[in-house]
Structure 1
Amino acid sequence: MGIEPLTCGESGNFTLTFDDTPVSSDELNILPVTGLKNPYHHLFYANGFAYVPDKWEPYPAVSQPNVAMFLPIGSALLPNSAFAGTLLPGELGAGPRAPVDAYWFNAYSGFFGCALNGITACTLRISGYRWDAATKKEVLAAEQNVTIPPCWGFINCKLTQVNFNGQFQALSGIQFNAFTEKLNIPQIFMVDNLQLEWYNNTCSAGILRIGHS
């Protein structure tokens, strides 16, 4: 009798770079902000998530050419993507597949920048959610607040690497929201190179993922 392989299909660590997504043509010199289409790398994204070439905004991408951007009022500016309304503002995750742990993940780090005035720092609120079978909804499982420094005058900006604490494990969703440091006004933020890992790395889970978008 053969030994079943430990992993197969799609498994282990992965990075969301947003670089394998097409953006609008810039022939007319118009800012090419394109809403993320669900699903992207098996995960779903709330209304307001978009991606843009870094040449159109002050933060160079960690990996070229795109960064993701979240627009707090994006649901009014961008066309709705499938199932985007099933997620909280600023959330990405399993979405309608939240009860299926093959689409759960561990979250480790990401690079972030805030689109403020180039003077004021912002607070990045990170919330991890886990599907609860008893209540049939996502419940808060982890939380972390990080201060993102300003980029003075938007000159020589760099995205800030944020390492998530050890509670961000076995998540069905993770939510990012940026606010002005003292006034708590929602702000646009950029994100690149999210380091994640599939939580369920059994062969059946890996095959399920590779067989679905």
Structure 2
Amino acid sequence: MFNITFDDATFVVQNRSTALPLSPLTNPYHHMFFANGFVYMPDSWEPYPSISQPNVAMVLPFGAPLLKSIPFAGSLLPGEFGAGPRAAVSAYWFNAHSGYFGCALNGITPCTLRISGYRYDPVGKKEVLAAEQTVSIPACPLYIGCKLMRVDFNEGFTGLSGIQFNAYTGVLNVPQVFMMDSLGMEWWNNTCEAGILRIGHR
């Protein structure tokens, strides 16, 4: 088991003229590749205290074109991270167990978080949808006393090559900026060969 906490990434502000210290993740991070739009920031700059200090991740559904593109990010779906260009290699497949989430731009009504798990299909040589789960994230009125909500993923989120998160307003189905932290995961392939391969590559 391991947690992705976004706390050990090297913090670099890409645009010093911005009011928020956003920094895109650098691929790969903990052997995972992240789509454009994934950034991390100190929790002091947003309303949700991190589960593990000091950073939380933020996913920007519209902001990706404004950020510096990161290597291989274009090979993933919006809001997805996972094995990316190594999707065919089982050493980088994983089981996803849980995470903490909060909506960033919706302080009045709940938002809907859609979680989609993908597995690599060696016959079709592409990722296919293997699991899906939808949860409601409660609103944080006036952004006072906000807490990230723990979400436990269902049993279908195993042997994945990628996992995708998208948040929407509960009524209008408009994409939302959202936060995430402390994703509980484990490697699907725990053989010695797979471990040695991961050790030899970022």
Counterpart of 1:62, as a letter, is I
Residue pairs, 1:22-41, within 5 angstroms = 22-24=10-12, 30-41=19-30
- Structure 2 residue runs of 5 or longer lacking an equivalent are none
Give the corresponding residue for 1:130.
Answer: 119
- Identical-residue share of aligned pairs (%): 66
Give the corresponding residue for 2:144.
Answer: 155
Q: Which runs of 4+ in 1 moved over 3 A?
A: 24-30
Give the corresponding residue for 1:83.
Answer: 72
1:65 is aligned to 2:54? yes
Residue pairs, 1:96-175, within 5 angstroms = 96-175=85-164
Shift in CA distance, 174/27, structure 1 to aligned 2, threshold 3 Å: closer
Figure out how many residues of one structure are paired with residues of the other and give that number.
201
- Cα distance in 1 for residues equivalent to 2:66 and 2:110: 25
Larger radius of gyration: 1
- Cα distance in 1 for residues equivalent to 2:175 and 2:17: 30
Give the corresponding residue for 1:47.
Answer: 36
Counterpart among 16, 23, 27 of residue 4 in structure 2: 16
- Cα distance in 2 for residues equivalent to 1:114 and 1:171: 25
Shift of 1:60: 0.3
Q: Tell me which moved more, 110-119 or 186-195.
A: 110-119
- Cα distance in 2 for residues equivalent to 1:141 and 1:104: 13
1:209 is aligned to 2:182? no
- Structure 1 residue runs of 5 or longer lacking an equivalent are 1-12
TM-score (normalizing by structure 2): 0.96
Contact kept, 8 Å, 2:106 with 2:169, in 1: the verdict is: no
Root mean square deviation of aligned Cα: 1.5
